[in-house]
Amino acid sequence: MPAKPATAKPAAGKAALYIRVSTDAQREEGYSIDAQKQMLEAHCVSRGIREYEFYIDGGFTGSNIDRPELQRLLNDARTGAIGCVVVYRLDRLSRSQKDTLYIIEDVLNPHKVDFTSINEHMDTATPMGRLMLGILSAFAQLERENIRERTRMGMTERVRNGLWMGGGRTPFGYDYDPEKGVLIPNQDADTVRNIYALYIKGYSLNRIAKMVGLKYEKLAYQILTRKSNAGFICYNGREYTGRHEPLVSLETYEQAMECLRSRSVKRLSGSDYLLTGLLRCGTCGARMRYQKWGKTGCKIVCYSRDKSKPSLVRDPDCRNVRLWAGDVEDVVVRDLFRFCVGKSKDEASAAPEQSVTDILREQYAAVSAKVKRLYTLYASSPDPLLLETVGEYQRELSNIMKQITAETERGAVSKRILTLRTSIDSIADVWDVLTKAERQDIVRTLISRVTVINGNITIDYVF
């Protein structure tokens, strides 16, 4: 007669029977609170567990551990009030691999609290149960990421067809028509148009907010900068032409954005100095400022030596020399002209090529596919080396995503450069007739930093 499988000995202390149902999962067979209660109680009877307590989180997602009953359970585990935790399925505890391992490895195990998942026949009191934990929690995380990826792909296809994302917050001035999937102008549409008109005329956002009845200046800013008002849909760093009716023309929107940039430059410059905000000390790393020097002009001074703002001092003993501001500006402007001419020639001779961002996205997709295949291999043949390889690929994915973010920001800057009122190769020809604000706008668009160290000047360009 074959031997009966060994039954784990009930842990000391009462059992915590944890139940979680999300809003959608309540309608699924086998996931309701009552159904989970019945299966958990039956498990306790079969294991001879007589003392138990239910911990029930109704209507909570499994993507994080910010759930009241789960937090109460973890506190009871830390204080020794429970001896084991039982769930119907592993994903009832969490859908995040990181959170699952944290709960079991960092909370339950150190306090001698066993964990059992009925559906997966897993019991951390046994070596095989601990092995299964690592595999199943990894797959729970993978499934969650697959769902997120499918949702993102579906949403991208939706906005590519000009339809609004749906759900979430509807932009001020519109209502959402769920049947047509588009935005419909409402009674606040005229308010939106007035905001653009008043801002272009020169009114401040604070005054506009009061004039149109908005509670905060920030709301006026958010409305002004929302490109959906011009008929576009911005999603995941890209712009798509929407099917909804624009509240303002694209020309009006871009004119308002130009006014916004121009006023931002004026606020930044304050004293109308060309390089304010860009200067750095190459000796101690502190910021540098313009300082009036008698009746002859200004010098560029390190804040560590100036002492006017103690919070900006990096090295009280900094000995970086002071330079005449006019000399520094002349060096920067001459180098700017040289840069613009070279950049113009490079762009004219460059052949069209695939977007760097598109290439990085293809790399990300390829590495993601490798990770999924490795998880499949690990499920059929557990090997620690496979998990190490997965970790390496995950670090590579993180690095690629950082590059995608950087390229997206760089693309936004390049687009702004193309909209400057003077073409990049003719800046030297028109420089003398530009206003101070226009010069500052060009300098801050193209230059990220000017480093000064004992008479030497280094200029870092945005691209």
Residue 424 in contact with residue 340, Cβ under 8 Å?
Answer: yes
Q: State how beta strands 174-177 and 122-123 pair.
A: unpaired
Q: Which residues in 7-90 belong to E strands, given as ranges?
A: 14-21, 52-58, 82-87
Distance CA 316, CA 307 (A): 8
**Paired tokens of 43:** 């498990």
Tally DSSP H helices, then E strands, for the chain.
15, 15
**Which residue has 């039954």 as its token pair?**
7
Does the active-site annotation cover 22? Answer: yes
Residues 6+ apart with CB under 8 A from 27: none
User: Among residues 268, 252, 323, 198, which one has the least CA distance to residue 436?
Assistant: 268
Distance CA 241, CA 162 (A): 6
One-character DSSP codes across 400-442? HHHHHHHHHHHHHHHHHHHTSSS-GGGHHHHGGGS-HHHHHHH
CA dihedral for 280, 284, 289, 292, sign (positive or negative): negative
CA dihedral for 371, 376, 379, 383, sign (positive or negative): negative
Residue 395 in contact with residue 297, Cβ under 8 Å?
Answer: no
Give the other-Cβ count within 10 Å of 448's Cβ: 13
Instruction: State how far Cα 152 lies from the chain centre.
Output: 15
Identified catalytic residue from 22, 262, 344, 368? 22
Distances (CA, A) of 199 to 202, 224, 250, 346, 420: 5, 9, 15, 38, 20
User: Among residues 237, 79, 105, 245, which one has the least CA distance to residue 162?
Assistant: 245
Please give the DSSP secondary-structure letter assigned to residue 204.
Answer: -
Q: What is the CA radius of gyration of the chain?
A: 31
Burial class (CB in 10 A: 0-12, 13-18, 19+), 305: buried
**Which residue has 């989970």 as its token pair?**
36
**Paired tokens of 239:** 């712009």
Q: What positions carry a catalytic annotation?
A: 22
